[in-house]
Amino acid sequence: MNRIEVVSNPVAFAIRQSQIDEAHITGQEYIEKPHWYRNKDTNQTYYDIFGCIGWPTEFSDKGEGAPGYLGVVGVVRPKVEGRKPQDAVFQLLTEREHHDVPTLLSMLLEIREEYGFGIYPGLMQTFIGDPDRFVVSLALLNEALMAEGGEKAAILISPPDGLYEPKVFDNYVRAFKSVLVPDRLRFYFGPGNDIVKTRMREFKQGDPAIFAIGGLVHGLLSQCMWMDYTNENAYVVEDGIDAEFKRY
């Protein structure tokens, strides 16, 4: 069941142009995208929605390791004016975990459909995670998906910022903890989402859940991924997006 729908101002193109003009004059680095999303169950709105994955840890003589993790995070669009879009808060909308990789990927297909895959170009097609693990399992699944639905049906895994840097896990943990500080809280867990919350109390190095959420938050904070850059290339891309959006 799809919980998400696309929303746009009826005069989105005119507003978009005024934002671009203002950005040029004021030197703004980002502008809002010309559309957003609404949760049909809760009426909550989001600038954008992102998925992340943390693969299961390796088997060892001590056991099967930690289960793999899936999370979906919405960048909340406030109902009341006043908060800058760049300072938007994040909410964990759903999460799953499993030791078995094929089962984890089946869960990924379920949650991406639930949170808007296919209703707008690119939404929930790419999950933030390590693209170098379980490549064969993912390739076999994508082969079947593309045979049925074409290239746009494939699951894409994109590395989080800084994945290949030394002490990457430490960087992700610190990024995640920074949005949990009480006096500048920016991350909310949402009802029934206790996996990451529980792991944060006591976790091991490389914990898949902390790695996945931490990597996603690290990218959100460093790139403001739910907004568009105010440069000429972004505007060229948006010409295509605006045309595509007219279908909705």
pLDDT digits (tens, 9 = 90+) for 71-82: 999 999 988 776
What does the alpha-carbon distance between residue 234 and residue 238 come to, in Å, rounded to a whole number?
6
* Contacts for 171 with CB less than 8 Å, ≥ 6 apart: 162, 165, 214, 218
* Residue 88 CA to its chain's centroid (Å): 14
Looking at residue 245, what is its pLDDT?
A: 39
Whose CA is closest to 69, among 100, 48, 91? 100
> Taking each helix axis from N to C terminus, what angle separates 12-26 and 232-245, rounded to the nearest 10 degrees?
170
Low-confidence ranges of the chain (pLDDT < 70): 9-29, 61-62, 82, 230-248
Looking at residue 210, what is its pLDDT?
A: 96
Specify the fold of 35-227. Answer: Nucleotidyltransferase; domain 5 (3.30.420)
For the chain, strand residue ranges (E) read 4-7, 30-31, 36-39, 45-54, 68-77, 90-98, 126-128, 156-158, 187-188, 228-229
* Contacts for 37 with CB less than 8 Å, ≥ 6 apart: 4, 5, 6, 7, 45, 46, 47, 48, 49, 74, 116, 120, 123
Looking at residue 89, what is its pLDDT?
A: 96
Q: Which two tokens stand for residue 121?
A: 């170009």
Strands 68-77 and 36-39: unpaired
Strands 90-98 and 187-188: parallel
What does the alpha-carbon distance between residue 48 and residue 33 come to, in Å, rounded to a whole number?
9
- Taking a C-beta distance cutoff of 8 angstroms, is the pair 93, 74 a contact? yes
Instruction: Tell me how far CA of residue 18 lies from CA of 22, 32, 83, 110, 244, in angstroms.
Output: 6, 11, 19, 39, 20
Q: Which two tokens stand for residue 195?
A: 């996996």
